[in-house]
């Protein structure tokens, strides 16, 4: 996050000075925005940067314990510089949060600079290879030039000058990382399902009849139900990530031309896609662990590490709930645009035909299901706006009405995102397989149908509300879904092999390419320190005295 912020928030002159040093690893930096007391509410951050025109410096200060920077990766022992997001004060006026480049350790001795308090925040669920740290300032001075001045400046005499055309230009790095995280979610879910599917092909358990041999657990329908959605979702996230990256790049290019019109839609998309992709990836990685029984609970399976690593992404770079509410803001505005007969941006254009007051006729084809997801999202949005307006009419303020409606707002945003993801998944597969062999086309179409059927069956309640789907339609869809799992089974191992993930990347005794699961589990067990000697000394110090009643 350090380098992207240097690129996104510095003037060309500042980039010319800082970027080469950062890329050369002469300086190592992190992005310190979150504080002990605030992570989501950026406007509530307490660290201050007060400009002193006498010395042409900013005085960095941590006025309270809760103002200490907390969480930044590498902050504890690794970095010697930080990008610090602080409330900017000049001429007695607060201009809100702005980014500053702050040296916190000596470049030679690595000792913390006077006025800087820095340390490690302690053990975490995962991410323990990163030294996430805390940082406090005691009236610590930095040169005026260390304010990142692309979007706003403080002149030598302390005059504040706003440069950016969009009020949230300083939030740009977060959008960039959210876009990256969709790809990371896809990559890590692909690892987990490679491990779980390969292991499920090796593992034999239970024989349906007394004479027969034990079945591969991958042959069980319930195991296929657990795992094939994981494969389908890994592809869905990867294709949405590529699509989102292009949307991000196009928006950035437009902003460079001075056109910020597409930024709100990008913010709404990156928010809900980051939220859903990281939440789906974390819960499906846990599902892969469930599918591997006891051995999935071993660190040597690689699955606990993947889960601990990925579940953090639901929180950092914008908490799941918060980001969905950002998307909901955008959707409510889109609803108002439909009412006013105004044009809509591409990803919400389906809303212009949606508010007919009638249930969408059910169509179980892939395109029909995608239209149903859109009808579901539109229906939830319409119902949410109705709740908002009912509360406003009762005399509540907009903020109060909004807060009381946030559960529905989040539901509408999640439904919208599912519709966008499903649409992208199918259209990207069709675009990319135009020249593919019939077999490749067949397998990839089977996977996106798994995704569509799975989520339609997960949302039958909503589909009954907003489409004409009947009980028998649901019955038929369930049978079709279960039949599709059986069609995929023969190719399942080949499909995860196609992720082309090397053993060194998987780090898994269960998922290695050679399938020697039991030999690898035993080999990993031998590495346990408890196997260093036949009798551990705790027998003599604790067990034996206890057995003799002497403790």
Ligand X SMILES: CCCCC/C=C\C/C=C\C/C=C\CCC(=O)SCCNC(=O)CCNC(=O)[C@H](O)C(C)(C)COP(=O)(O)OP(=O)(O)OC[C@H]1O[C@@H](n2cnc3c(N)ncnc32)[C@H](O)[C@@H]1OP(=O)(O)O
DSSP secondary-structure letter at 435? Answer: T
The residue (of 177 and 444) whose beta carbon lies closer to ligand X is 177
Total binding residues toward ligand X, as defined by CB under 6 A: 31
> In the bound complex, what is the minimum distance in angstroms from residue 167's beta carbon to ligand FAD?
19
User: Residue 139: how many CB atoms within 10 A of its CB?
Assistant: 11
In 3D space, the residue among 87, 92, 99 whose CA is nearest the CA of residue 43 turns out to be 87
47 binds ligand X (CB under 6 A): no
Strands (E), 160-264: 160-162
Per CB under 6 A, which of residues 244..283 are in contact with ligand X?
Answer: 263-264, 267
423 binds ligand X (CB under 6 A): no
The one among 117, 225, 329, 359 contacting ligand X by CB under 6 A: 329
The two tokens of residue 222 are: 């319930």
321 binds, among ligand FAD, ligand X, none (CB under 5 to 8 A by kind): ligand FAD
Residues 6+ apart with CB under 8 A from 534: none
> In the bound complex, what is the minimum distance in angstroms from residue 180's beta carbon to ligand X?
7
The two tokens of residue 251 are: 């928006």
Strands 48-52 and 81-90: parallel
- Do the beta carbons of residue 200 and residue 230 sit within 8 Å? no
The one among 48, 90, 251, 313 contacting ligand X by CB under 6 A: 313
Taking phi over 0 as left and psi of -120 to 50 as alpha, with beta for the rest, 164 belongs to: beta
Per CB under 6 A, which of residues 99..158 are in contact with ligand FAD?
Answer: 127, 132
The one among 28, 254, 322, 474 contacting ligand X by CB under 6 A: 322
Residues 6+ apart with CB under 8 A from 103: 80, 81, 113, 142
Helix (H, G, I), strand (E, B) or coil at 101: strand
Residues 6+ apart with CB under 8 A from 35: 45, 46, 47, 66, 67, 68, 69, 70
User: What phi and psi values does residue 442 have, to the nearest 5 degrees?
Assistant: -60, -50
The residue (of 66 and 153) whose beta carbon lies closer to ligand FAD is 66
240 binds, among ligand FAD, ligand X, none (CB under 5 to 8 A by kind): none
72 binds ligand FAD (CB under 6 A): yes
The residue (of 35 and 462) whose beta carbon lies closer to ligand X is 35
The one among 48, 103, 326, 512 contacting ligand X by CB under 6 A: 326
Helix (H, G, I), strand (E, B) or coil at 508: coil
The two tokens of residue 157 are: 């005499």
In order, the DSSP letters of 138-165 are SSEEEEGGGB--SSEEE-TT--EEE--S
The residue (of 131 and 265) whose beta carbon lies closer to ligand FAD is 131
Strands 152-154 and 57-61: unpaired
The residue (of 232 and 334) whose beta carbon lies closer to ligand X is 334
492 binds, among ligand FAD, ligand X, none (CB under 5 to 8 A by kind): none
User: What phi and psi values does residue 251 have, to the nearest 5 degrees?
Assistant: -65, -45
The residue (of 44 and 346) whose beta carbon lies closer to ligand X is 44
The interface region with ligand X, picked from 285-293, 306-314, 452-460, 506-514 by CB under 6 A, is 306-314
Helix (H, G, I), strand (E, B) or coil at 515: coil
The residue (of 79 and 284) whose beta carbon lies closer to ligand FAD is 79
185 binds ligand X (CB under 6 A): yes
The terminus-to-terminus CA distance of the chain in angstroms comes to 54
The one among 316, 382, 457, 536 contacting ligand X by CB under 6 A: 316
What's the alpha-carbon Rg for the chain, to the nearest Å? 27
For residue 126, say whether it is annotated as part of any ligand binding site. no
The interface region with ligand X, picked from 45-53, 141-149, 167-175, 251-259 by CB under 6 A, is 167-175
The one among 26, 40, 55, 531 contacting ligand X by CB under 6 A: 40
316 binds ligand FAD (CB under 6 A): yes
The interface region with ligand X, picked from 18-26, 176-184, 405-413, 452-460 by CB under 6 A, is 176-184
The one among 56, 145, 219, 319 contacting ligand FAD by CB under 6 A: 319
User: Is 46 one of the catalytic residues?
Assistant: no
> In the bound complex, what is the minimum distance in angstroms from residue 144's beta carbon to ligand X?
25
310 binds ligand X (CB under 6 A): yes
The two tokens of residue 152 are: 């706003």
Catalytic position from the list 184, 265, 317, 414: 317
82 binds ligand X (CB under 6 A): no
Kindly tell me the burial class for residue 266, based on how many C-beta atoms sit within 10 Å of its own C-beta (0-12, 13-18, 19 or more): buried
9 binds ligand FAD (CB under 6 A): no
Strands 69-70 and 81-90: unpaired
The one among 29, 39, 133, 296 contacting ligand FAD by CB under 6 A: 39
305 binds ligand FAD (CB under 6 A): no
The residue (of 8 and 366) whose beta carbon lies closer to ligand X is 8
The one among 6, 147, 152, 174 contacting ligand X by CB under 6 A: 174
For residue 321, say whether it is annotated as part of any ligand binding site. no
* Alpha-carbon distances of 70 from 30, 67, 131, 136, 239, rounded to whole Å: 12, 9, 11, 9, 34
- Do the beta carbons of residue 320 and residue 278 sit within 8 Å? yes
Q: Convert 27-38 into a string of H (helix), E (strand) and C (coil).
A: CCEEEECCECCC
* Alpha-carbon distances of 493 from 247, 449, 513, rounded to whole Å: 33, 18, 10
> In the bound complex, what is the minimum distance in angstroms from residue 493's beta carbon to ligand FAD?
33
The residue (of 76 and 443) whose beta carbon lies closer to ligand X is 76
Binding residues for FAD, as ranges, are 34, 73
Residues known to be catalytic: 317
Contact positions toward ligand FAD, by CB under 6 A? 30-34, 38-40, 71-73, 127, 132, 312, 315-316, 318-319, 321-322
Contact positions toward ligand X, by CB under 6 A? 1, 31, 33-34, 39-43, 73, 168, 171, 174-175, 177, 181, 184-185, 188, 263-264, 267, 309-310, 313, 316-318, 322, 326, 329
């Amino acid at each position: 996050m350090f380098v992207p912020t240097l690129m996104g928030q510095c003037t060309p002159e500042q980039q010319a000075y800082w970027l080469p040093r950062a890329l050369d690893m002469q300086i190592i930096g992190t992005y310190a925005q979150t504080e002990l007391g605030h992570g989501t509410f950026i406007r509530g951050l307490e660290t201050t940067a007060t400009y002193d025109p006498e010395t042409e410096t900013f005085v960095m200060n941590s006025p309270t314990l809760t103002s200490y920077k907390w969480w930044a990766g590498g902050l504890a022992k690794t970095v010697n510089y930080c990008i610090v997001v602080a409330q900017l004060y000049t001429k007695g006026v607060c201009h809100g949060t702005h980014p500053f480049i702050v040296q916190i350790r000596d470049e030679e001795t690595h000792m913390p600079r006077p006025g800087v308090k820095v340390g490690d925040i302690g053990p975490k669920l995962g991410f323990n290879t990163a030294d996430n740290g805390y940082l406090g300032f005691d009236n610590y001075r930095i040169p005026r030039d260390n304010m990142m001045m692309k979007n706003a400046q403080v002149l030598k005499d302390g005059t504040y000058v706003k440069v950016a055309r969009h009020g949230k230009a300083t939030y740009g790095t977060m959008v960039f990382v959210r876009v990256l995280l969709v790809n990371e979610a896809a990559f890590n879910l692909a690892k987990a399902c490679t491990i779980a599917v390969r292991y499920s092909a090796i593992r034999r358990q239970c024989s349906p009849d007394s004479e027969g041999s034990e079945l591969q657990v991958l042959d069980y329908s319930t195991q296929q139900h657990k795992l094939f959605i994981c494969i389908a979702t890994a592809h869905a996230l990867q294709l949405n990530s590529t699509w989102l990256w292009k949307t991000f790049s196009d928006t950035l290019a437009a902003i460079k031309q001075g056109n910020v019109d597409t930024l709100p839609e990008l913010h709404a998309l990156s928010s809900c896609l980051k939220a859903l992709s990281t939440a789906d990836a974390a819960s499906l990685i846990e599902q892969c662990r469930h599918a591997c029984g006891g051995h999935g609970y071993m660190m040597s399976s690689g699955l606990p590490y993947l889960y601990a690593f990925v579940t953090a992404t639901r929180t950092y770079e914008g908490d799941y709930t918060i980001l969905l509410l950002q998307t909901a803001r955008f959707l409510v505005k889109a609803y108002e645009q439909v009412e006013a007969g105004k044009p809509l941006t591409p990803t919400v254009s389906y809303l212009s035909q949606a508010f007919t007051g009638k249930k969408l006729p059910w169509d179980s084809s892939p395109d029909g299901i995608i239209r149903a997801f859109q009808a579901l999202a539109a229906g939830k949005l319409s119902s949410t706006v109705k709740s908002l307006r009912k509360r406003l009419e009762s005399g509540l303020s907009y903020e109060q009405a909004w807060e009381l409606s946030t559960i529905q707002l989040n539901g509408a945003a999640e439904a919208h995102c599912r519709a966008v993801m499903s649409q992208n998944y199918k259209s990207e597969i069709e675009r990319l397989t135009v020249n593919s062999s019939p077999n490749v086309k067949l397998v990839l179409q089977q996977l996106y149908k798994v995704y569509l059927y799975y989520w339609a069956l997960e949302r039958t309640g909503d589909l009954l509300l907003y489409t004409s789907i009947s009980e028998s339609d649901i019955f038929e869809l369930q049978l079709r879904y279960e039949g599709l799992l059986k069609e995929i089974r023969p190719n399942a191992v080949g499909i995860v092999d196609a992720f082309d993930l090397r053993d060194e990347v998987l780090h898994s005794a269960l998922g290695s390419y050679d399938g020697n699961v039991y030999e690898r589990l035993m080999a990993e067990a031998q590495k346990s320190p408890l196997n260093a000697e036949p009798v551990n000394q705790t027998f003599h110090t604790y067990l034996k005295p206890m057995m003799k009643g002497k403790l």
